[in-house]
Structure 1
Amino acid sequence: MSRVSAIALALGLAASSLALSAGAATAPSPAITAAVADASRPQADKDRDADRKPAEMLAFAGVKPGDKVVDFMPGAGYFTRLFAKAVGPKGRVYSLLPGEIASRSQKAVDGQKALAEDKAYGNIVPLVEPAAALSLPEKVDVVWTSQNYHDVHAFMGTETVAAVNKAVFNALKPGGVYIVLDHAAEAGSGLRDANTLHRIDPETVKKEVEAAGFVLDGQDDALRNTADNHTLKVFDPALRGHTDQFVFKFRKPK
């Protein structure tokens, strides 16, 4: 083999390895495409699609018709509504608001109430219970949390985070997935910025979730932003909606 060929082969292998570690993008299914295009979605949600890339996120999570999904700390329900349409009438979406958040955030309570009252989404089941309990009526296929993992640390403490991750593990079917999407903090910062900048070090998330028994099964880099230097609060007008975000897929072993 010539030196040029050897170099080309090495570069090809390196590129393949990088693509595998980052998680190759999966084409959205017709169910996911239809969910994003659903006319009953609030306009405010649609206006955020370019930044939040919902079709790619749901495809990465592997959401499909008939699935049972937990949206943990759903906010105003941006992803909850998408899940509801993507899983269809044979699926179910549990909109889970931790009691610890409900007791201190009227905005979160109002979001939960709006989901429960929205007649366009009949397969959403609102739940309010302690964060570490996750007492569900059935095992689920996907547990999803978006831009909230750092808040569990900030509002509930590290011991509660460990209990939450273990409860998620127990709530999933064997082979089920736990998706964590959050604002990235500076590498090596650990939990330093969770309560101030509302960010968390991705490596800290990996270690904590894997400690509960999960295996890292991929990551999606569609929401990464190299222009974000991780020093601003995520609500800063100069950056809001465009933070550097990581998306991890953890799988419960079969």
Structure 2
Amino acid sequence: MRYTLPAVAIIAAALGTAAIAAPQMGSVSQDLKDAVAAPTRNPANTPRDKYRHPAETLAFFGVKPTDAVVELWPGGGWYTEILAPYLKKGRGTLWAAAPWPDGIKGAQNLRFKDSPTYGEVAFAAFPVWNEGEPKIRDNSVDVVLTFRNVHNWRMGYQRPDKQDYAPEAFKQAFAMLKPGGTLGIVDHRLPENASAERERTSGYIKTSTIKKLAADAGFKLVGESEINANPRDSADWASGVWTLPPTYRLKDVDRAKYEAIGESDRMTLKFRKPG
């Protein structure tokens, strides 16, 4: 199953206009719409919805409010702010998992317990590298999600030796999912003809690389979407994906140009654990 970017977005790119058309696909529930509109979201985060399409993305992954969901590497909690109220409505469960203990602090700072909009959020290590770190039980969750992180694992980010640990990360994600569970991935898309070195340094990653990592771990690809595609992004920036918003690594140099391009071109892939 593959969803394509609407023609209106492609035409807009050809004309060089700044606006990115919102993709149309499937049915987005009222519960998802309410979660995206939750007043507890950081107002600084909502302008990025036009690039990240959270409601459409979560609908594509099939996340239900009754699910047990793990968000891998939530960072500052951009998606966590949406998942927490959404899962509370259905009495689902949300885990935030990242390198322990420092990697989880951004999500912990959202102070979920202080807001009636949020449900309980549990925290765990991912990947589990050391004995005694809190681990999500094997075969215990319905959905595992990660947004713009596989390239970090490939680049060895958060490891002192900078070695690629993506295969181990996929193996651990596979283990925590129930049979039939879903792995949803969004990441910065590197053209397939780019060099292996670009994949290790640019912040982009090839779709084929993620598919192979998933297959090697035992996952089956069940869907691809162009929800988060951006045809304006050439993915060949000397300073990598961080050239584009929201990072603007070059600061004020050509800032208007990069603002007009918008956030990166992204793949959106849905995998399933067999059984």
* Interval containing the TM-score (normalised by the shorter chain): 0.7 to 0.9
C-alpha deviation, 1:117, in angstroms: 5.0
Alignment-derived partner of residue 93 in structure 2: 92
TM-score normalised by structure 1 residue count = 0.81
Distance (Å, rounded) in 1 between the aligned partners of 2:3 and 2:111: 36
1:7-41 residue CA offsets vs partner (Å, 9 max, x unmatched): xxxxxxxxxxxxx3337932111211111111111
Q: Is the 8 A contact 2:70 2:96 kept in 1?
A: yes
Alignment-derived partner of residue 248 in structure 1: 269
Alignment-derived partner of residue 110 in structure 2: 115
Distance (Å, rounded) in 1 between the aligned partners of 2:205 and 2:264: 12
Q: Go from structure 1 to structure 2 and tell me whether the alpha carbon gap of 1:250 and 1:129 turns closer, same or farther (over 3 Å shift).
A: closer
What pairs with 1:1-254 in structure 2 (closer than 5 Å)?
20-22=1-3, 25-88=25-88, 90-99=91-100, 108-116=103-111, 119-120=114-115, 121-131=118-128, 135-137=135-137, 139-154=140-155, 155=157, 156=159, 160-189=165-194, 191-232=196-237, 233-236=240-243, 237=248, 238=258, 241-254=262-275
SS at match of 1:193: helix
Q: Go from structure 1 to structure 2 and tell me whether the alpha carbon gap of 1:130 and 1:227 turns closer, same or farther (over 3 Å shift).
A: closer
1:63-100 residue CA offsets vs partner (Å, 9 max, x unmatched): 1121111110001111112111222251111110123x
C-alpha deviation, 1:193, in angstroms: 2.4
Distance (Å, rounded) in 2 between the aligned partners of 1:210 and 1:31: 32
1:160-210 residue CA offsets vs partner (Å, 9 max, x unmatched): 211211111111111111111100112133642244220101111111111
TM-score normalised by structure 2 residue count = 0.75
Q: Is the 8 A contact 2:74 2:104 kept in 1?
A: no
SS at match of 2:39: coil
Between stretches 155-164 and 225-234, larger displacement belongs to 155-164
Q: Go from structure 1 to structure 2 and tell me whether the alpha carbon gap of 1:26 and 1:235 turns closer, same or farther (over 3 Å shift).
A: same
- Give 2:98's aligned amino acid: L
Runs ≥4 residues deviating over 6 A: none
C-alpha deviation, 1:122, in angstroms: 3.1
In proportion to residue count, which structure has more helix? 1
- Give 2:120's aligned amino acid: N
Q: Is the 8 A contact 2:204 2:241 kept in 1?
A: yes
Provide the alpha-carbon RMSD of the alignment.
2.4
Alignment-derived partner of residue 15 in structure 1: none
SS at match of 1:47: helix
Q: Is the 8 A contact 1:116 1:126 kept in 2?
A: no
SS at match of 2:165: helix
- Give 1:113's aligned amino acid: Q
- Give 2:267's aligned amino acid: F
C-alpha deviation, 1:158, in angstroms: 6.4
